[in-house]
A and B are shown apart, each in its own frame.
Chain A
Amino acid sequence: MAPAGFLSKKRMEDFLKEIGKDALVHVPVLEGNVVVFRPYGQNQTINLERPANAPPKAVIFPQSDTFFTFRFIKDPQDPKKVSVEINPPSDFPEAIIFGCRPCDAKGFKIYDKVYIEANGPDPYYMGRREKTTIITLACPAPSAGCFCTALGGGPAEKDGSDILMTDVGEGFYLEPVTEKGDKLLKAQGVAQLIEDGAKYGQEATKRQKDTHDSVKKPFESINYRDLSRDLFDDDRFWEEMVSKCISCGACTYLCPTCYCFNITDEKTLEQGERLRSWDSCMFKHFTLEASGHNPRPTKFKRYKNRIGHKFLWYPEKYEEIIACCGCGRCIRYCPVSVDISEIVSNLRKTE
């Protein structure tokens, strides 16, 4: 692995243009009062000051993704005989996510267990994952609702990123984390823009530590075994915690670790496609059966499932890893300020 480098802020646009030669680069852009990931292009205000309103999960796990297209073919001899031709996509584009946060990058690690390791590779997820390089910015400051350090992450956590950038004032201190990141930094055009980073190392470490210490900790650390199953199964607990929930999908769609989906067919006359699209366990119709029966008929049951999935069942299945990265978006943008960190704190067994 190459030693750390330095990218001057003056050269950031050149850097983006250079890495954009072979890949679609997704950058955080200020639109109105919000920050969203957009393909890098003209007339954009790149914003690295605060985390994007929505994480860049759609780059690897698109909000709607074509499993395959299909086409009906009529037999000219016998029009009643119709055969079907199905075509899955053959390739996925090279992509780079630039300027996401360590929590966003960690989200993909949560997905990897489900979509690559445990159930056999999901070809759509893996196709994009392998072709995506993640250049993360160490968080310069926590936002309202952030609690990554309580979940074992941190504003300069490297796990999940290919390159970690730290803002050191006039530029970024660049640390290659993976072979993929290393390769990107060593590519000829890019290497020309990067200076030796050695003299910025100390400043980067200091800034990383300062931010780390300023992240709020609703609890010190957590293991799924710490949660009280009695409380978890107590309907009154959920009623108290989430009476205010309005059952929208903001928390799940903004979550870097939420991965539940729907599969639907969309058709126009003789052809169509089967899509995977994001779905939300907070929606009532999510588990509604054709018979009218619904195993999770109330918002209490649905929210319980959301917490259960992230804090009990995922860790029980996957090496005790909590499926929440503490990015705080579900808290920040919840229409009624449901606070997942408060709920989990309350669920913890009192010693």
Chain B
Amino acid sequence: MDQMKNPYLPELATVVKIIDETPNIKSLQVVFNDPEKMKNFRFEPGQVGQLSIFGVGESTFVINSPPTRMDYLQFSVMKAGEVTAAIHELHEGDVIGVRAPLGNWFPYNEMKGKKILFIGGGIGLAPLRTLILYMLDNRADYGDITIIYGSRTPPDLCYKYDLEDWASRKDVELILTVDNEYPGWDKRTGFVPTVLNEVAPSPENTIAITCGPPIMIKFVLQNLAKLNFNDDHIITTLEARMKCGIGICGRCNIGTNYICKDGPVFSLAKLKALRAEI
């Protein structure tokens, strides 16, 4: 059997670095064992990969490092089920499997020349991170970049190293919030959708991209509508239980669309058009 064409065979990769992002989220930086594969690997911001822990199984995560920085691929994993628990047990140097890239991506070319509004919550910053870093690496192509990001408490904020960088940059506006007051926290408090209302960004020539817990997304979408954002200009990503990652196994479909293959990135206009059973 020709191994090159087997969509189910993972590529072996080594964990080169593990970052403790929050008490229950870790990031892995991985490099393919085959240097040729690493050299030739291409993906688009927003695409996902299936990580394999052999003997435990596979699970889907977004590649949250940008395609402009190809020393490694970064994935962030919140401990929830069997596979994520096993990933949390990994050490640097361990071998895992990777099937990537899978799925669609953010329409970053269509966003050129536009103002960009990122709205993220918790680990929902992961898919946004790949696009934020991509845009920062191609800064001249895009207008103002605003990032509203929140989590339950300050320790639950992901990518603190990025947040520090973005906060110090003049070409990015970073607005951080946590749900409630917290010792030593001197920035905003309140839920992300509320902060969005307070900030009240203009929909003028702006694309809003949001990802976070379902309940946050629900209210963010409502508030964006109130701010007169057009459904075509609102982009979000969906999650579902996935197995094959190539649009066959039958779990993650909404009608004819498979989140793993036709998603995970959808405009709100597209989502509304899907005859949804969400």
Contact = CB atoms under 8 A, between A and B. Distances in A.
Contact of B277 (A83, A120, A279, A301): A301
B256 A229 contact: no
Given A263-B243, A289-B240, A72 B54 contact: yes
A272 B252 CA distance: 27
Contact of A68 (B9, B53, B275): B9
Contacts of B9: 67-68, 86, 88
Interface in A78-92: 80-84, 86, 88-91
A225 to B, nearest CB: 14
Nearest to A305: B277
Q: Which of A83, A261, A265, A309 has the most CB of B within 10 A?
A: A265
A20 interface: no
Given A261-B244, A272-B55, A301-B277, A91 B256 contact: no
Contacts of B201: none
Interface string B1-16: 1110111111010000
A119 interface: yes
A295 B276 CA distance: 10
B56 interface: yes
A88 B80 contact: no
Contacts of A312: 255
B131 to A, nearest CB: 24
B81 A261 contact: no
Nearest to B6: A123
A233 interface: yes
B80 to A, nearest CB: 4
B241 interface: yes
B214 interface: yes
Contact of B58 (A82, A127, A233, A263): A263
A80 B90 CA distance: 12
Contacts of A287: 240-241, 251-252
Given A68-B9, A84-B12, A262 B95 contact: no
B56 A119 contact: no
A316 interface: yes
Nearest to B251: A287
Interface in B170-219: 214
A46 interface: no
Interface string A113-136: 011000111111001000000000
A333 interface: no
A290 B84 contact: yes
B277 A304 contact: yes
A18 B128 CA distance: 63
Interface residues of B, number: 47
A317 interface: yes
A290 B58 contact: no
A226 B171 CA distance: 55
Contact of B5 (A81, A120, A259, A260): A120
A214 interface: no
A263 B239 CA distance: 18
Given A67-B8, A91-B1, A83 B249 contact: no
Interface in A214-241: 229, 232-233
Q: Which of A120, A121, A260, A288 has the most CB of B within 10 A?
A: A260
Contacts of B277: 295-296, 301, 304-305
A119 B95 CA distance: 29
Given A67-B9, A123-B2, A262-B243, A114 B248 contact: yes
A122 B80 contact: no
Interface in B87-135: 91, 93-95, 97
B249 A262 contact: yes
A38 to B, nearest CB: 27
Contact of A313 (B248, B251, B253): B253
Contacts of B243: 261-263
A249 interface: no
Contact of B239 (A123, A264, A289): A289
A41 to B, nearest CB: 28
Contacts of B240: 287, 289, 295
Contacts of B252: 287
Given A229-B275, A233-B275, A289-B240, A313 B255 contact: yes
Contacts of A68: 8-9
Contact of A115 (B10, B53, B58, B248): B248
Contact of A89 (B1, B93, B239, B249): B1
A293 interface: yes
Contacts of A209: none
B250 interface: yes
B1 A272 contact: no
7 contacts: A67-B8, A68-B9, A86-B12, A261-B244, A261-B250, A274-B8, A308-B255
Nearest first, the 8 closest Cβ-Cβ pairs linking A and B are: A290-B81, A260-B250, A267-B55, A290-B80, A313-B256, A263-B243, A289-B241, A70-B54
Given A84-B54, A287-B240, A313-B255, 6 more contacts: A84-B12, A88-B9, A114-B248, A119-B247, A267-B55, A272-B54
